Structure 1
Amino acid sequence: MRNLSSFPTKVDTFVELYDLPPSLVVSAKRYQELKVKPTLNSTEQAELNNLTTILGDYIITPETWNKFASALINVEDFFLTKVDGYIDTKQLEWATYVKDFTYKGVYSASTQYKFQNMITYNGDLYLCTKDAKGIVPTSTANWQKISTKGDKGDTGLNVYYKGSYSATVAYALGDAVDYGGLIYYCKKATTAGTAPTDATSWFLFDKTIVSQTTPPTTQQGLIWIELIS
């Protein structure tokens, strides 16, 4: 089929078609009569040419339809040979990019790091901006700090409550006990008899107490707000 489309070199233009108005019905019938005649004399040919011009916005000619078909085929061919291949190439490129955007653990001078690799160094998180090996993360030519280690916050509630403290029990890291009306958090494994007031093994969970009576036990850092009735 002859290619009548200019795509993708440029965008095609098409004739905008309309419904046939009642005023041109007679002209359309005469056009059909002339089109089915096997031969036309010069007068009839001139009449047909004139009717073709008059009815141009209401007739789907073979040329109009073939141009649309050519444009459709050109678009299909363009997507098949140009766009699909382009997308496949970009997918591979982005897959590599995403795979490199991974955390590689604590920095090691003997490791080869790639663009977008992430590491921790002195508690801070760094992003590799250029392939590097043996170049410390503090070098801004190859690394970008993306987060800084913050100060230690208060202990959260991710603990295991063991009830009231017992001197006969050895407690593990993460255990929490009630002692003297206060909650203590075990920050390292202890032997039986290590009281919660031992700051090397225990951490006071809540350092602020609001009450009318004096706390039964005291510890450095404890804040007591006395309620006066």
Structure 2
Amino acid sequence: MWEFSQSTCTVSEDASCSTHVHLSLAGGFSLVQLKRLAQAIIYFEPAVEALIPADRRANEYARSNWIENKHLAYKNLSRGQSVELIEACRTERDTVEFRRGAASSTARDVFKWVEFALAFLQASIQLPARGALASFPPNVGGLKKFFDSARLIEDPGMRRKSEGRAEPTPVKLESLSKQKTEKLHKKIEKDKHSNPMLDRITDASHKGLI
């Protein structure tokens, strides 16, 4: 697909573009696995923030799972308190969404993000308990050790200083232009009603194809 696209088109990107990767487990996720994944996302956010391009920071399409969450930082909960709140959850949701992936303009860029997403998911659901997160510093080096501990892959596209970390910046939605606000609201409404990829996966699952 990329060979054809790059031979016939000019591939470009901007701050509203991103790479979406949909991951699922055969048989679905257990409540504990979903908790570990959500907790790892909150815990390692400073490391991920240091890795993503500048245009994905303070981006209305890539808001923080912690600082922009009305149940977490909006209620002045620290990251640690947020992890504990997730642990107390007793019900499951259909998806966990993590919108930090940057735009991809080559097949190599896509594979980097796919590799990162797979490594993060698998390392997260292998956590024996939420307390195990504390053994990894919430920086780039700690995130790499987190992946290494799951014995997955050698280097999921992380080549920055190991101590690298950054805190997310809240998105001031009220400061967005009218055009950007309308575009964001349309995207949110569209996501509420349908996710074509998830619809196809569900359909294929019901037909016994996957």
**Greater percentage in helix:** 2
TM-score, with length taken from structure 2 = 0.16
**Greater percentage in strand:** 1
TM-score, with length taken from structure 1 = 0.15
Higher RCO, Cα 8 Å, sep 6+: 2
